[in-house]
Chains A and B, each alone.
Chain A
Amino acid sequence: MSTEPIPGMTPERVAAFNLDRQQWLFGLAGLTLVAALAVALAPGAPSVLIVLLAVAGVAAAGIELGPAAARLLWRRRSLLIVVVIALLAVVWVVIGLTSASGQWTSYLPRFANGTPFPFLLYEPDGQVGATSWPWRVAGLPLLPMLIGALSAAGGLVLVADAVRVQIGLAGPPRSLWRSLTQTPTRGGRTMVRAIPGVALIGVATFLAMSLTSRYIGDREADPLLATILTLGIGGWAAFVIASPVAVGLALRLDVDKAGTAREEERRRFAAHLHDSVLQTLALIQRQAHDPAAVAKLARRQEHALRAWMAGETDLASATLASAVRDAVAEVEDDYDLTVELTAIGDTRLDSRGEEFVSAAREALRNAARHAPGVAVYVFLDIGPVGAELFVRDNGPGFDFGAVPAERRGLRDAVIGRMAFAGGSASVESTPGEGTEVALRLPINGKGR
Chain B
Amino acid sequence: MSASTSPLRVVVVDDHQLFRAGVRAELADVCTVVGEAATPATAVAVIADRTPDVVLLDVHLPDGGGVAVLEGLRAAGQAPPVLALSVSDAAEDVVPMIRAGALGYVTKTIETSELVHALQTVAAGDAYFSPRLAAFVLQAFSVQAPSQVSAPGLEALTPREREVLHHLARGYAYKQIGSRLGISARTVESHVGAVLRKLQLSSRHEVTHWAASHGLIAGHDDDERDA
Chain A residues near B (Cβ < 8 Å): 299, 302, 306, 309-311, 340, 342-345, 375-377, 379, 381, 383-384, 390, 392, 394, 433-434, 436
Contact = CB atoms under 8 A, between A and B. Distances in A.
A345 B146 CA distance: 8
A302 B224 CA distance: 15
B132 A392 contact: no
B169 interface: yes
B109 A375 contact: no
B176 A433 contact: yes
B168 to A, nearest CB: 9
B144 A384 contact: yes
Contact of B139 (A340, A345, A433, A436): A345
A258 to B, nearest CB: 18
A344 B109 contact: no
Given A345-B139, A384-B144, A340 B171 contact: yes
B128 interface: no
B205 interface: no
Interface string B193-227: 00000000000000000000000000000001101
Contacts of B170: 377, 379, 390, 392, 436
Contact of A379 (B88, B90, B131, B176): B131
Contacts of B135: 342-344, 379, 381
B142 A383 contact: yes
Contacts of B227: 310-311
Nearest to B138: A344
B91 A344 contact: yes
The number of chain B residues touching the other chain, given as a range, is 20 to 34
B171 A302 contact: no
Contacts of B144: 383-384
8 contacts: A342-B135, A375-B171, A377-B171, A381-B166, A381-B169, A390-B169, A390-B170, A433-B176
A302 B109 contact: yes
Interface of B: 88-91, 109, 131-132, 134-136, 138-139, 142, 144-145, 166, 169-172, 176, 224-225, 227
Given A309-B224, A345-B139, A392-B171, A377 B131 contact: yes
A392 B91 contact: no
| B91, B131, B142 pick with most chain A CB within 10 angstroms | B131
B104 to A, nearest CB: 15
A342 B91 contact: no
Contacts of B132: 340, 342
B131 A342 contact: yes
Contacts of B172: 392
A344 B91 CA distance: 9
Nearest to B179: A433
Contacts of A311: 225, 227
Nearest to B176: A433
A340 B131 contact: yes
A412 B167 CA distance: 26
B191 to A, nearest CB: 18
Nearest to B149: A344
B131 A309 contact: no
A447 to B, nearest CB: 24
A392 B145 CA distance: 25
Nearest to A298: B109
Nearest to B146: A345
Contacts of A376: 171
Contacts of A375: 171
Nearest to B114: A375
Given A310-B90, A310-B227, 12 more contacts: A340-B131, A342-B131, A344-B136, A344-B138, A376-B171, A377-B131, A381-B138, A381-B169, A383-B142, A390-B170, A392-B172, A436-B170
Nearest to B134: A342
Contacts of B166: 381
A124 B204 CA distance: 79
Contact of B169 (A299, A306, A342, A383): A342
A433 B177 CA distance: 11
Contacts of A343: 135
Contacts of B91: 344
A436 B166 CA distance: 13
Nearest to A383: B144
Contacts of A377: 131, 170-171
| A302, A310, A345, A379 pick with most chain B CB within 10 angstroms | A379
Contacts of A392: 170-172
A343 B139 CA distance: 10
Nearest to B110: A340
A344 B169 CA distance: 10
Contacts of B145: 344-345
A390 B171 CA distance: 9
Contacts of A434: 176
Nearest to A338: B111
A344 B139 contact: yes
Contacts of B176: 433-434
Nearest to B136: A344
A436 B88 CA distance: 27
A342 B139 CA distance: 11
A344 B227 CA distance: 12
